[in-house]
Structure 1
Amino acid sequence: MRVRRSVKVWWVIAAVIALVVAVLPQVGPTAWAQGDAGGSTTTTPSPSAGQAAGAADAELAIIMDASSSMLQPDEGGTRLDVAKRAATDLVDSLPDTANVGMLAYGTQVTDAPENHERGCADIRELAPVGAVDKDRLRGEIDGLEARGYTPIGNSLRAAADMLSPDAAERSIVLVSDGIDTCAPPPPCEVAAELADEGVGLAVHVVGFRADEATRAELECIAGATGGTYRQADDAAALSESLQFLAQRAIVEYETAGTEFQFADTADEAFYVGQGLYRTTVQTVSELNTAAVPEKFLRVAVPEGHRAYVAVTAVPRIDLTDTGGGEGINVRLTSTNESHHTCTNNVASSQTSGGGWEPPESTVLAFAGQEPGDECDGTQFLVAAQFNTAGLGDAEELEVEMSVQFEPMPGNEVGTWPEGHPGSAPDAAPVEISSPQPVAGGNSFANAAEITEGSFSDAIVPGEFRYYRVPVEWGQRPVVTMRTGPSVRDSPDTMYAAMYGPVRHGVASEYVSFYEDGAELTAASDRPVNFTNRDANVGGARVAIAGEHYLAVSMNVQGSGPNGVEQPFEFAIRMDGEPGEGPDWEPVNEPGPTPS
């Protein structure tokens, strides 16, 4: 089950840049963009209702310039030749889910004075907005010929008509090397009119070798709609703009497991078994915890086992909020109903807003029945509360739950190392050497498998990247992460958090960066030992060996576009020699159907 997330269509700038770039090298996900960012002017768009609600998909209409000025010589032929090669490359790289259309002006009527009226209406739809038809677009682009006038204002209106009024975001991208030669209507006035007609329409523009007068006109168009203008005068400016070729939407968190529902009352609660589950919950917004309604399920803990119920509430992403969205308070309580003397357990956590820190799991632990114990381990009732604590609106959220039963060992515990107090010295940074590309997963369940070593990946603001690495008894996991300069040319922050096999938080750090790269190192506060749980309260988080998780996230602060991938590198090291402990690992498969 995927959590829908509203994203600004900043990848549209990739389309704009692609139309004017053909011969410069691609920038891969691990090549940190350099250069002066002064060639762009950005007006922050107002958030749309579609953005807030995660409504329909975004749509894009691309306007190609085939006016007579595109016949001027350029690298490898004419300016139009450059644009055609780049546009074809763009089409090849578009995701199959993109909703893209294309039109061109100046293709059929020459710019002779007697053709003025006809030339200013020379606007041809190459492909309607919809699921991208790559074969059709390639053929249409290949057949373009530059002949005529530059009817920018009329083309903007035609492009707007191609876009659905129900789309969450509607974007037009325009590349031009000259001013409108058909005004009236003045293109800036047309842009302002389009912006007034509906929320969510933005025009993004690149001035290709634009002179002062052309730049003023094109900047006005972008500014009137809350779009972005970029000036491309030379190879250096174009190279700086290539970063936008990697823009994309957020890869959403994907919950996994058997579907279930919390019950509204204890009497209606079903039993869940060992494994993964997923559901949806309705949050409330209450300052008083006692006023937050409880939802229920039941757990039958096998004799001689310890239960872990980890609930991960996935926040909705709001890229218009510098916090990324509202946080969620999750509170779990277990009650053994078999006898009044049985111990109750409580766990709670605050899930940070999306695009800030990875969502934290609330982990509730409770022991089953032991010999001579009057508390029946099959009679546990678990109550869950989901609350925004008066800080946000009540809303429906996706929830992932892991239920695990850990067998308790016998007398062999006395032969294992004593619990560590958690005062291990700061870990030395891990050397990042020859990192290998890896694509992080989008959730705990889909985490990419890695081992000790160096890796590289990329992330966009508001996204989570997950990796899993085995940790043996007696080992202390250490991670070092390094960023390059901010690709968004904005003060940015990245987080790295480590979680244990039952999703306990083990370590976390963050690093802020801007013009220079930055580095962080995070490590658990002690080696993983079974007896850590008896050392102190914090030891329970570092008391289970097996697959640990590394989660990386990036904030959504700053004024830069949100769809730009930020490359990063990281390395994992295990300090300490493997030791002794029980041979048990959690079950990360869908759990049995609740009953």
Structure 2
Amino acid sequence: MLLPLAGTRLAIAPARAADGEVPSAYGRMLLVLDSSGSMAEPSGGGTTRIAAAKRALTQVVRQLPEQSEVGLRVYGATVFDKDHEDACTDSQLAVPPGTGNRGDLLDAIGAVKPYGETPIAYALRRAADDVGDGGMRSVVLVSDGIATCAPDPCKVAAELASSGVDLHIDVVGLSVSGGARQQLQCIAEQGKGTYYNADSAADIVKTLTRVSQRAVRPFRLAGTPVEGSRTAADAPTITAGQWTDVVGGKGSPDATRHFRVRRTMPGSTIHVTATTRGTVGKWDQIGVTLTGPDGSECDKEDDYRDIDQYSILSTEVVSGRDVPYIEDDCWQGDSLEIAVERGNFEDTRSAPFSLTVFEEPPATGVEQLPEWQETGAYVAPSVPGRAHRLVAGSGFADAPRIGTGRYALDIVPGESQIVRVPLDWGQQLTVRARFPAGTPGVEDLTGIQGPFGDLKLYTSLLGTMSAYASGTDNTSIMPGLRAGELTAMSPTVRYRNREAYGDGQPVLPGDHYVVVSMNADSDGDTWVQPYTLEVEVLGEPAGAPAYEGDAEVTQPLDALAVAQAREAPTSAPTGPTAAGGPAGSAAEADRPADDGLSAGLVGAVSLGLVVLLLVLLLLVRRRRA
């Protein structure tokens, strides 16, 4: 028997951007809602699963930013008989992804009734078509049960995720356990997404009010797409700029990607940074090697993350005349080979990465500049006064620019938050993230010890700083009922820091980045964790080098964005899109600590069915590095 979806608007073709259209800053999200018969069963909180899901979705849709593209697909909504020939293809695109469709979404959600079978694999394949093949795309599956139709949805999720690096499949399980929960968790893992557990509809409105104030933007790696080669001999030549590509996982022939960069100024210094989110929740590593024309190794660095960390992987290498211990060929040669390698220990999936290449003019009178020094002991920020509300960015490109001050934020498990702080020559940065004692409800989810938190600093070219002051604690267990803090302090920005070989030193001025991360809960539970971020810039500007030709270096990433935009028609080798969009420049000036600062947030949340609301709101702008 067939049952039409009363009051819904069915469509065939997904909404897609026209050729040449500038991609939206927001991700494209498709909600995939289970409307099978089992959704009529009770959920925690005295209501049915479908009623709780519809209530949550209704509130989510009403508070979504109008600029975000959102759609709805349902399955199991029209065919009751499991032996009917259409039972395993019973899925409809109720509302295509788009803007200006909130009324249609609300009507479609209100019309859904629990009815038929559970063709998850078929619905996922259609959902991948619905969101299109460009930009940041997210499919959010909301389900309460195991698939009743072949093929295996876990295998389909892996197939879809591998076909497009910007597609993530996140899953919200409604009151599930046993085999059903295992299958939904597998779908999320293979779909490069995250699984979230929801057992009740408690505290939805309260939590939704807090997160609805946040902008919803996708995590994206800034750069122009380029396709690296598997061998050095076939490496494409790139210029200074920001580029994106894809590096393979364990055992892949694409686990190393090769490029070549040419000098445009004799004696210049070449800086290269590789940045990736990798596979969160997995052991992961990314490394970069610079090689001279004669095969000499000029510099080699890597960044590593263990299974308990959610920080962004980013490593920077330098090759120039004033870098000690390198061969003459490394700074005199007219080109350098770049090899980006992913040292993934257990995951075979590929990962998008960005490649930042900056050519620094030769400096004169270097021996007169301040020498590199040990950072010394940690100095806590001295920032009295009230904390101003701030919404952090989810990526380097959308991070808000801040200065010395105290800022009030909140974070959820499985999230990284980013802000940028300008530093001039002779200045350094000290940071403290302070977490208050949790509530008894949070302790029920976390136990006495919470998940791991991480505080990392990144240079003006996005390289991870590994040289922190003594007495800092930048990785720690987040509090349950106990208060806690994370601390970090950068070295002073000095030209001659490059003499500290392999020590993650800031060697150029410009925006430096503060990243606070919190790993996901293994059971899929989540909550909102408030914290205060204290930031202080120490020292007065001093020690700027004199560059040949009276050149200046102040904001390297801004300079790259301007130069690359100018050269865009001819500079970029063709290749598959890895992370979308050219690099965007930072704000023109420091922003004081004003209430309501916002730049976006990546997230995913749950305290009972709170997870559904928060996940859907925050996954519009998915990831995450």
Q: Is the 8 A contact 2:403 2:422 kept in 1?
A: yes
AA at the equivalent of 1:359: I
C-alpha distance in structure 2 between counterparts of 1:203 and 1:531, whole Å: 51
Asked if the contact 2:36–2:117 (Cα under 8 Å) also holds between the matched residues in 1, the reply is no
Q: How far off its partner does 1:331 sit?
A: 3.7
Kindly indicate whether residue 282 of structure 2 is the aligned counterpart of residue 325 of structure 1: yes
Q: How does 1:494-505 map to 2 (within 5 A)?
A: 494-505=453-464
- Which residue number corresponds to residue 466 of structure 1? 418
**RMSD, matched Cα:** 5.2
1:409 maps to 363
Tell me the residue number matched to 1:97: 70
The alpha carbon displacement at 1:203 in A equals 8.7
- CA apart distance, 1:584: 1.3
Partner amino acid, structure 2, of 1:332? T
2:537 corresponds, among 567, 574, 578, to: 574
Aligned equivalent of 1:260: 226
Following superposition, the deviation at residue 423 of structure 1 comes to 4.5
Aligned length: 449
Contact 2:119 2:148 in 1 (8 A): yes
Can you list the C-alpha shifts for 1:504-528, whole angstroms capped at 9, x where unaligned?
322571232242342112102x322
Q: Is 2:322 aligned against 1:363?
A: no
Secondary structure of the equivalent of 1:97?
A: strand
Residue 454 to residue 102, structure 1, CA distance change in 2 (3 Å): farther
Which structure is larger by alpha-carbon Rg, 1 or 2? 1
Q: How does 1:69-218 map to 2 (within 5 A)?
A: 89-94=59-64, 96-99=69-72, 128=94, 131=97, 133-136=101-104, 138=106, 155=114, 157=116, 164=123, 166=125, 170-172=141-143
Change (3 A) 1:369 1:506: closer
Structure 1: which 5+ runs fail to align? 1-55, 68-80, 105-124, 145-151, 174-190, 207-217, 318-323
Question: Which of 508, 513, 519 is matched with 1:555 structurally?
Answer: 519
Alignment counterpart, residue 584 of structure 1, candidates 528, 553, 556: 553
Structure with higher RCO (Cα < 8 A, 6+ apart): 2
SS of 1:92's equivalent in the other structure is helix
| 3-state SS, counterpart of residue 433 of structure 2 | strand
d(CA) in 2 for partners of 1:127, 1:292: 37
Counterpart position of 2:297: 344
How many Å apart are 1:470 and its aligned residue?
0.7
Alignment match, 1:510: 475
The aligned counterpart of 1:76 is: none
1:487–1:463 CA distance, 2 compared to 1 (3 A)? farther
Per-residue deviation at 1:225?
A: 9.0
Q: Which residue in 2 is equivalent to 1:435?
A: 387
Is 2:339 the counterpart of 1:384? yes
Change (3 A) 1:551 1:127: same
Pick closer, same or farther for the CA change 1:442–1:400 going to 2, 3 Å. Answer: same
Q: Distance in 1 between matches of 2:54 and 2:221?
A: 41
Between 1:498-507 and 1:484-493, the stretch displaced more is 484-493
Deviation at 1:594, TM superposition (A): 5.3
CA gap of 1:222–1:405, structure 2 versus 1, over 3 A, is: closer
1: distance between equivalents of 2:508 and 2:147? 62
Structure 2 residue matching 1:532: 3-state secondary structure? helix
CA contact (8 A) 1:127 1:137 kept: no
SS in 2 for 1:450: coil
Matched, 1:530 2:495: yes
Query: 1:316 and 2:268 equivalent?
Result: no
3-state secondary structure, aligned to 1:442: coil
Alpha-carbon distance, 1:280 to partner:
2.0
Q: Secondary structure at the match of 2:363?
A: coil
Q: Is the 8 A contact 1:482 1:568 kept in 2?
A: yes
1:445 aligned to which of 386, 397, 400: 397
> Within 1, Cα distance between the matches of 2:443 and 2:270?
44
Cα pair distance change 1:159/1:540, threshold 3 Å: closer
SS of residue matched to 1:541: coil
SS in 1 for 2:497: helix
- Cα distance in 1, alignment partners of residues 106 and 205 from structure 2: 26
The residue number in structure 1 matching 2:45 is: none
Q: What TM-score, normalized by structure 2, do the two folds share?
A: 0.58
1:419 aligned partner, one-letter code = E
Q: Percent identity?
A: 19
1:108 equivalent in structure 2: none
Structure 1 residues 487, 584: CA separation in 2 closer, same or farther (over 3 Å shift)?
farther
User: Does structure 1 retain, via aligned residues, the 8 Å contact 2:274–2:286?
Assistant: no
